[in-house]
Amino acid sequence: MNATKVEKGIDLITIIEQGNTATFTHFYTVYFQKLLLASDSYVNDISIAEELVQDIFLKIWENPQALNEVQSIKSYLYRTVINSSINYLNRQKNIEQHHLKLASTITDQYLMDLDEESEMILMLRNEIEKLPAQCKKVFILSRFESLKYREIAIQLNISEKTVENHIGNALKLLRARFLNDETLNKRGKGYLMLLNFMFV
pLDDT tens profile 90-99: 887 765 565 5
Closest by CA position to 163, among listed 145, 148, 175, 176: 148
Q: How far apart are CA 78 and CA 136, in angstroms?
A: 64
Q: What dihedral do alpha carbons 93, 95, 97, 98 form, nearest 10°?
A: 160
Report which secondary-structure segment, H or E, holds 125. Answer: helix 108-128
Interhelix angle for 160-178 vs 133-143, to 10°? 90
Please say which residue of 72, 104, 136 terminates a domain: 104
Burial class (CB in 10 A: 0-12, 13-18, 19+), 150: exposed
Residues 112 and 132 in one domain: yes
Per-residue pLDDT reduced to its tens digit, 133-172: 999 999 999 988 889 999 999 999 999 999 999 999 998 8
Last residue of a domain, one of 104, 126, 156: 104
Range(s) of the domain holding residue 70:
3-104
